[in-house]
Amino acid sequence: MSVVDRALRFPVNALEYTNILLTTDDAVAGATPRDVVWTHRETTLYRYQSSDRRYRVPVLLVFALINRPEIFDLRPGSSLVEYLIERGFDVFLVDWGYPDEEDADMGLDEFVCDELEWAVRETLRAAGTGELTLMGWCIGATLCAMYCGLDRDGERVPVKNLVELTMPIDGRASNYAKWVGDDDFDVDTVGELWGSVPGNAIDFANKMLKPVTNFWTTYRRLWDNVQDGTARPEAYQPMAKWVADNPPFPGRAWAQWIRLMYRDGDLVRGRVRLRGRLVDLRRIDQSVLVITAGADHIAPRPGTMPFFDLISSQDVEHLARPGGHIGLVAGSAARKELWPSIAEWLAERSDD
Amino acid sequence: MEGGRNGAQSPEEQVRALYEEAESDATQAFEQMAAKPSFGRLLALSAENVAAMTRISFDAVDLLWRNLRVAGRADIVRLSRQLHRTEDKLERVLQEVESLRDELARERGEERVRQ
């Protein structure tokens, strides 16, 4: 297209570009029909509707405490939930909701020992089984690992399979550690002052890891696509909407997370205690699938690798793939490149 | 990148290539800057100050509100926390009831088998 053509088309393109940006909030993310199984405080457990459940062991999806779990079910045709249901899995999702100032006292203890513990219990009751598959993503994956590693006085955790997607285990070498790892930064006071750390503040910090890409290149690429006539609002908008949807992070849990992940490395050192019970990752003996992304700047691969040395599972598989923290599992290529591997791995381990 | 008719880049393509190079350089430079401890210190200090200023503003507005005998944010948070505590207790009671019901159903089943 010549410069003159571009200049002539500029007003139309500008209108289309603006329209895409301004109607992003109208995009529908998380459209797969689902039922509420259980609620407690801000937490909701959903079960996705399905008429073809072929596997006995249900899958419980657990997302991070930042952003929303709709990324598991981004849009029809590009939804991990939809893909798993189509292949006969019974899929549940735990949604942490939008914690506010009254939830400032929620720590990792509450998320692991209450919310996740009870969500697992309700999933088993609803599915009528004794075991499930836990599939965690980002901080959700770490919470799942902590849940499986928790001391239960000899009682067995009802988890048959553990799937960990882009999971941080030791973040002391990451850029976050350079920001918040210094003892001068008083995380407890900041967490207490804020009550719940605003989602926008966390989103801003995450975006500052790659400032030009996040604040400029994303929008410039959209403009290029509009000019070339290759813009796909149906793909761009649900993702953009999801990126901008940032619930607050309960202050106490945020301070605990920073200390154990970016300062002390307590999880890999086996020194995390939740309600006085030790979290020892050596207790994890389930079938484990770990997925890491080569270009992950949020949970870099080296920060996940210590996990393999700690767990005692005999059945461990690691899928080391190229891609980013979110794009690997929710990107346009995931349906062909990653989800079949996950479904195949699950299918072999989801029957009696 | 496509060449012009004689194999050379058109002026538009040259401008485009220059722009992309500049953007790529800027991306790298900003990422390097973000990875510096000094940048982290600046970000941490900003977070501390913003958190403190937010709290002071909320407290000041709350003080004004409460002096007008209107429920402020702190009162609503306190009420919500009380509701949460009640919900926590209710959840535990419900779980006890459910496990007792399961236990009863199991015992009845065993009894039926024995009969």
pLDDT at A2 exceeding the cut of 80 = no
pLDDT at B69 exceeding the cut of 80 = yes
- The pLDDT score that the predictor gives to residue B4 is 47
- Residue A4 domain flag: no
- Residue B108 domain flag: yes
pLDDT at B3 exceeding the cut of 50 = no
pLDDT at A183 exceeding the cut of 90 = no
State which residues form the domain around B46: 8-70
- Residue B115 domain flag: yes
Split at pLDDT 50, 70, 90, the class of B7 is low
Query: Cα-Cα-Cα-Cα dihedral of A299, B35, A211, A204, to 10°?
Result: 70
Number of domains in chain A: 1
B32 lies in the same domain as B63: yes
pTM equals 0.91
Residue of A nearest to B36 (CA): A178
Number of domains in chain B: 2
B18 lies in the same domain as B62: yes
B29 lies in the same domain as B83: no
Q: What is the average per-residue pLDDT within B5-13?
A: 72
B35 lies in the same domain as B60: yes
- Residue B1 domain flag: no
Q: Which CATH number does the domain housing residue A79 bear?
A: 3.40.50.1820
B58 lies in the same domain as B23: yes
- The pLDDT score that the predictor gives to residue A293 is 95
> CA-CA distance, A50 to A88, in Å (whole number)?
8
Q: Does A53 touch chain B (CB under 8 A)?
A: no
B52 lies in the same domain as B77: no
- Chain A residues lying within 8 Å of B47, measured CB to CB: 185, 190, 201, 205
Tokens 């990653």 map to which residue?
Answer: A338
B80 lies in the same domain as B65: no
Listed by number, the residues of chain A in 134-193 with a beta carbon closer than 8 Å to a beta carbon of chain B are: 175, 178-182, 184-186, 189-190, 193
> CA-CA distance, A133 to A90, in Å (whole number)?
10
- The pLDDT score that the predictor gives to residue A41 is 94
pLDDT of A294-340, one tens digit each? Answer: 999 999 999 999 999 999 999 999 999 999 999 999 988 899 999 99
- Residue A10 domain flag: no
pLDDT at B2 exceeding the cut of 50 = no
Over pLDDT 70: what percentage of chain B? Answer: 93
- Residue B53 domain flag: yes
Distant-in-sequence, close-in-space partners of A82: CB < 8 Å, separation ≥ 6: A32, A73, A76
- Residue A333 domain flag: yes
B15 lies in the same domain as B48: yes
Q: What is the average per-residue pLDDT within A131-150?
A: 97
B16 lies in the same domain as B62: yes
- Residue A137 domain flag: yes
Mean of the per-residue pLDDT values of chain B: 88
> CA-CA distance, B32 to A35, in Å (whole number)?
46
Q: Is B4 or B102 the better-scoring residue by pLDDT? A: B102
* Contact residues, chain B to chain A, C-beta under 8 Å: 12, 23, 26-27, 30-31, 34-37, 39-41, 43-44, 47-48, 50-52, 54-55, 73, 76-77, 80-81, 84, 87-88, 91, 95, 98
User: Would you say the ipTM is above 0.90?
Assistant: no
- Residue A114 domain flag: yes
- The pLDDT score that the predictor gives to residue B1 is 42
- Residue B33 domain flag: yes
Taking an 8 Å cut-off on Cβ atoms, the answer to whether B48 and A178 are in contact is: no
Mean of the per-residue pLDDT values of chain A: 94
- Residue A2 domain flag: no
B65 lies in the same domain as B77: no
pLDDT at A1 exceeding the cut of 80 = no
- Residue A296 domain flag: yes
State which residues form the domain around A78: 31-198+248-347
pLDDT at B6 exceeding the cut of 70 = no
- The pLDDT score that the predictor gives to residue A352 is 55
